[in-house]
Amino acid sequence: MRVYRSDKGGIGIWKLAGVVDRDDALVLLRTLQETETCRRGCFILDFENVVHVDFRAFGVLEDGCPDGACVLLCGLSDYILDIFAFVSRRRIFDVFPDWKKALRYIAAERGKLGPSPAALPAGGK
């Protein structure tokens, strides 16, 4: 698995590529938990360039997702979406066709709640 990370307005966008297995999911979770943006809790995992996901990887992501984190999945091919649908038990991830739609969704949800922590001036007021 390869991961390309970027940050747009305090939202982490991680573009995955290749094959994602259980160990890769553990690394993603550990990185997600250690990332400072985890406190803001918004991540998009883009599977557009992923060719296969070990079914256990989705279980690991679902079971280990930090409380309060907003993790969205996008770019899942029909094949990978079938694997995800078969394995998903808790239904904690929203799925979008691409990262741009996921980003717009988060922006709209943040707009309902007020400005994001990244948008606040120093001092938080």
User: What domain count does the chain have?
Assistant: 1
26 located within any domain: yes
What is the spatial distance between Cα 101 and Cα 88, in angstroms, rounded to a whole number? 22
| Residue where the block lists tokens 């553990």 | 26
Q: Which two tokens stand for residue 104?
A: 């717009």
The answer to whether residues 8 and 102 touch, using CB atoms and an 8 Å cutoff, is no
Instruction: Write the CATH number for 84.
Output: 3.30.750.24
124 located within any domain: no
pLDDT score, position 123: 45
115 located within any domain: yes
The residues with which 96 forms a beta bridge, in sequence order, are: 74
20 located within any domain: yes
pLDDT in tens, the chain (125 residues): 888 888 877 788 999 999 999 999 999 888 877 765 444 568 899 999 999 999 999 999 999 887 777 889 999 999 999 999 999 887 889 999 999 999 999 888 876 544 444 444 444 44
pLDDT, tens only, 73-106: 999 999 999 999 999 887 889 999 999 999 999 8
pLDDT score, position 112: 56
Residue 114's alpha-carbon distances to 21, 43, 72, 123, in angstroms, are: 37, 18, 20, 16
Residue range(s) defining the domain that contains residue 19 = 2-119
